[in-house]
Every structure is written in structure tokens, then in C-alpha cells.
Amino acid sequence: MSAPHLDQQIDARREPRYTVAWRARIELPDGRQYDAKVRDISENGIGLQSDYCAQARSNLQLTLGVPDLEDPTHVLAVPATLKVMFVVMQGHDFRIGGVWANIGPQAQHFLHQWVRRLRLGA
């Protein structure tokens, strides 16, 4: 029996993901930082694109640049830790998908409000 194709594994998620175009920064323990783009978000995680090649099953410290719900021209810094579930090469970058490993209650509430807004198409 063959293993499921990687795209099928990536798309076999419990919650729908919603497309966004936010910025993020990956912060490594040694102080190095990498820019990333948040491509999608769900209740439990996000999809990123970056030139940093994360290791599957590792934890990444992130700061997300998330637009304010009331004033989208104002961007808020949202810290979080992401558990990397998959990494695939896409062009010259890496697509990184993961679930929240650690996120504060205020940040979690704020991101849930964004997901709710995206779900409703607002």
C-alpha cells in the first residue's frame, strides 16, 4: 500500500484555512531572524512562506504582523510559537505549515476573531 500524496496530507486538515497576506518574522534561538509571509490561517495554525528551511516537528518562535480588526492600516505584533507539521519547497522558498504550540490568550482570541471574520467573508 502506498503512502498518501503529500498534498493530500497537507490538505487533510480539520479546520478550513483562509488566505491572508500578512507578514511575519521567524526568530531563532541564536538571534537570527528570517522574514516570512503568512499565506493562510485557521483556528489551530498557519501556513507560512519563507527562505528559512524549518525542520518538521520543531517549534518556531514567530512574531506575526496582523492588521487591527478596527483599523487594517494599523498592524499589531502578535507573538506565538508554531509547531512545524510540514515543510515543502515551493520555487526558491519553503512552505511551512504548523499548529499553535504556544500562544497567549489575548493573541489567541484576536486570531480567532480574524478567522471568524474571514469565515463570514467580511
Q: Is residue 67 part of a domain?
A: yes
Count of domains observed in the chain: 1
Q: Is residue 37 part of a domain?
A: yes
Query: Tell me, what CATH number does 116's domain have?
Result: 2.40.10.220
Q: Is residue 1 part of a domain?
A: no
HSE, side-chain direction, 13 A CA sphere, residue 90 = 14
Backbone angles phi, psi at 54, to 5 degrees: -75, 160
Q: Is residue 41 part of a domain?
A: yes
Q: Is residue 49 part of a domain?
A: yes
Each of the 122 residues of the chain gets a pLDDT tens digit; together they read 333 444 444 555 578 999 999 999 999 999 999 999 999 999 999 999 999 999 999 999 999 999 999 999 999 999 999 999 999 999 999 999 999 999 999 999 999 999 999 999 86
pLDDT of residue 4: 40
Q: Is residue 23 part of a domain?
A: yes
Q: Is residue 77 part of a domain?
A: yes
Joined together, the cell numbers standing for residue 12 give 487533510
Q: Under a CB-based contact definition with an 8 Å cutoff, are residues 108 and 80 in contact?
A: no
Which domain range does residue 28 map to?
6-120
pLDDT of residue 3: 38
